[in-house]
Amino acid sequence: MSELLSKASFQGTVAMLLANPDREAGLEKQERDDLMLRFEGPEGDCHGGLTRKSDVRMIKQFKRGTEVRNARQLSILSEEELAEVAAKMGIQAVKPEWVGANIVTRGIPDLTLLPPSTRLQFPSGAMITIDIENLPCRYPADIIKSHNPDQKLGFVAAARNKRGVVGWVEAEGLIRSGDPITVWIPPQRIYAHG
Amino acid sequence: MSELLSKASFQGTVAMLLANPDREAGLEKQERDDLMLRFEGPEGDCHGGLTRKSDVRMIKQFKRGTEVRNARQLSILSEEELAEVAAKMGIQAVKPEWVGANIVTRGIPDLTLLPPSTRLQFPSGAMITIDIENLPCRYPADIIKSHNPDQKLGFVAAARNKRGVVGWVEAEGLIRSGDPITVWIPPQRIYAHG
């Protein structure tokens, strides 16, 4: 694998960390100074766990509620993309806590377009593997609209390809606000038979 | 995710299943009629486990022996690529048991080039998520050479981009020899900033 992953020419920074211990409290999360990443997911966040119930996102693959490995332990968005989405929506900001973010990055261009199996590495040794981009859905859209009744465009339309990525913990460790993020990218090529 | 993954136009078949309960016995595995996939990995195989010790493949990312999530629970190769590698090496066959295969596929073109986060689905509901291609290394090379002292080209050179992929269990279930394999491919695009 040392030959498979290439270190990106840029480095990111952790702009903000968030967690929400209580799923019943809704999607909105609270800011944190640091976050301990365990194989089970980020400590103190309700979206952790080694497995989860499959939802509408994989309805073509699984009956809803099927127990599947949790490749969505963390939701990662970028400050730059959030600002672009807000601009498109004609609102001042899309706050990370409205969209269920655990990590907000700065300095990773087109975060949402990072290839699957990209690795994000932190100074403690913590490592997150990206599964796939996240799709904008109704839940955050409703929260944002409740805060911004005068929005010009809805979140689902504005956030397409800018809603960040989801991933899982490959190596445990503490991550802190302000940490640099090293990005490791897998071989890139288009599969010809898709 | 239902909008993210596209069903491939082709369908694969499970040509062969293998497992090896004893790591000390070496890389060589034995054929099986079926294989139970658990979140911990394939039952009765020594490369299972939720975590594993990192090895030389990730030496740029981790100190050797670091506990990491096991994204290499299964080694998957294709019958067609194995035949191509054997032809390049000038030998009759590269047997799946020589290269640590758990699953040998038939009918998935360029298996090794499947994009990371591609899903392989089986009739029982079992699902494997592909992490990344596998790199040819010395261990299988030595085994193959011991069986084929007259080979014209070494395995490491011959098997580049044809050594299959590794992956992990996303949904549990039994897989059987002869099973059809449905292939779900993530969005394909080249990340411009790599």
ipTM: 0.94
pLDDT average, residue stretch B72-81: 97
**What are the start-end ranges of the E strands in chain B?**
6-19, 30-32, 34-38, 41-42, 51-53, 67-69, 74-78, 103-106, 119-121, 127-133, 165-171, 173-176, 180-185
CA distance linking residue B89 with residue B86, whole number of Å: 5
As given in the structure block, the two tokens for residue A107 are 């300095």
Minimal Cα–Cα distance from A12 to chain B, Å? 13
Closest residue in A to B168 (Cα) is A69
Classify the phi-psi angles of A81: left when phi > 0, otherwise alpha if psi is within -120 to 50, otherwise beta.
alpha
Question: Regarding the domain delimited by A2-21+32-185, which CATH topology (the fold level of the hierarchy) does it fall under?
Answer: M1 Pyruvate Kinase; Domain 3 (2.40.33)
Reported as a pLDDT band with limits 50, 70 and 90, residue B175 is very high
**Cβ neighbours of B105 (radius 10 Å):** 23
Reported as a pLDDT band with limits 50, 70 and 90, residue A137 is confident
pLDDT beyond 70 at B2: no
pLDDT beyond 80 at B158: yes
CA distance linking residue A11 with residue A77, whole number of Å: 15
Non-local (6+) Cβ contacts of A9 within 8 A are B193
Mean pLDDT of chain B: 94
**What pLDDT does B1 receive?**
43
As given in the structure block, the two tokens for residue A91 are 């609102």
- CB contacts under 8 A, A 92-121 vs B, are 109-110, 113-117, 119, 121
CA distance linking residue A114 with residue B132, whole number of Å: 15
Reported as a pLDDT band with limits 50, 70 and 90, residue A27 is low
pLDDT beyond 50 at A1: no
- CB contacts under 8 A, B 174-193 vs A, are 184-193
Reported as a pLDDT band with limits 50, 70 and 90, residue A21 is confident
Eight-state DSSP code of residue A12: E
Nearest-by-Cβ selection for A188 from B8, B170, B190: B190
Nearest-by-Cβ selection for B171 from A56, A68, A169: A68
Nearest-by-Cβ selection for B117 from A131, A185, A187: A131
pLDDT average, residue stretch B20-43: 86
**What pLDDT does B123 receive?**
98
Of B43-57, B70-84, B87-101, which gets the smallest average pLDDT? B43-57
Of A34-38, A55-59, B184-188, which gets the smallest average pLDDT? A55-59
**What pLDDT does B25 receive?**
66
**What pLDDT does A139 receive?**
86
pLDDT average, residue stretch A142-168: 96
Structure-derived torsion over alpha carbons of residues A5, A10, A11, A17, reported in degrees to the nearest 10: -100
Domain range list for chain A: 2-21+32-185
CA distance linking residue B76 with residue B71, whole number of Å: 13
Residue B56 touches chain A, beta carbons under 8 Å: yes
pLDDT average, residue stretch B169-189: 97
| Beta strands B6-19; B180-185: pairing state | antiparallel
**What pLDDT does B166 receive?**
97
Mean pLDDT of chain A: 94
Which pLDDT tens digit goes with each residue over A68-105? 999 999 999 999 999 999 999 999 999 999 999 999 99
Residue B157 touches chain A, beta carbons under 8 Å: no
**What pLDDT does B56 receive?**
86
**What pLDDT does B49 receive?**
92
pLDDT average, residue stretch A31-46: 95
